[in-house]
């Protein structure tokens, strides 16, 4: 994402806004989906995030990077939505049956493994508190560094570290409770 595109978007250029959408949709959607666990809800969050970006980008002062700004909006929207719904994702598993990136080229064994892995992820994430889940999603699925997570969530880096540690301890405890094949 070049500075020119960001500048054009700030000045109201809709093509530039579309470029931003294409660049960040994947992150926004996947983070939202992992936090709320339902595709329809993740779509709603996505819509809200990009409408916020559309409305507020003219006031974006580039004090933080566009990436961090959009990440922050995403997390805020997803957490707000999740708290509003007060839903637990424990045991609620939803699959995107026709994932265009994954499915057609893979053999059946791979698809089964993939679906099993999705079940495990849902179970693990469902076992965590919302703030722990957010840190794990940002770190382990989206690959953000501790610094990027701290900037996005506006929390100290050691808080990120302790949330990740507690989340992993909780996941290990779940693993020890359950038989290995159940996870």
Residue nearer to another protein on the CB measure, 68 or 114: 114
8 binds another protein (CB under 8 A): no
Greatest CA separation for the chain: 56
Smallest separation, CB 63 to another protein (Å): 25
Tokens 């936090």 label which residue? Answer: 35
Which part of the chain contacts another protein (CB under 8 A), choosing from 59-67, 72-80, 85-93, 133-141? Answer: 133-141
**Torsion angles phi and psi, residue 128, rounded to 5:** -100, 155
Residue 103 per-residue DSSP state:
S
98 binds another protein (CB under 8 A): yes
Residue 128 per-residue DSSP state:
S
- The residue within the footprint of another protein, chosen from 76, 93, 114, 155 (CB under 8 A), is 114
- The residue within the footprint of another protein, chosen from 39, 67, 72, 87 (CB under 8 A), is 39
50 binds another protein (CB under 8 A): yes
- The residue within the footprint of another protein, chosen from 7, 88, 156, 169 (CB under 8 A), is 169
- The residue within the footprint of another protein, chosen from 38, 67, 87, 175 (CB under 8 A), is 175
**Torsion angles phi and psi, residue 76, rounded to 5:** -60, -45
109: which 2 tokens? 């064994």
- With CA atoms as reference, report the closest residue to 123 among 45, 34, 39, 44: 34
């Amino acid at each position: 994402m070049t500075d020119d595109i960001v500048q054009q978007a700030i000045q109201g250029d809709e093509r530039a806004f579309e470029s931003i959408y294409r660049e960040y949709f994947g992150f926004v959607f996947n983070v939202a989906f992992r936090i709320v666990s339902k595709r329809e809800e993740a779509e709603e969050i996505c819509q809200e995030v990009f409408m916020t970006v559309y409305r507020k980008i003219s006031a974006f002062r580039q004090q933080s990077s566009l990436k961090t700004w959009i990440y922050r909006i995403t997390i805020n929207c997803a957490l707000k939505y999740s708290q509003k719904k007060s839903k637990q994702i424990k045991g609620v598993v939803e699959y995107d049956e026709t994932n265009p990136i994954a499915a057609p080229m893979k053999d059946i064994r791979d698809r089964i493994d993939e679906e099993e892995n999705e079940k495990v992820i849902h179970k693990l994430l469902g076992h965590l508190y919302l703030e722990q889940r957010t840190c794990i999603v940002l770190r382990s699925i989206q690959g953000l560094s501790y610094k990027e997570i701290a900037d996005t969530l506006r929390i100290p880096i050691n808080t990120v570290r302790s949330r990740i540690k507690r989340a992993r301890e909780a996941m290990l405890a779940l693993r020890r409770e359950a038989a290995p094949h159940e996870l």
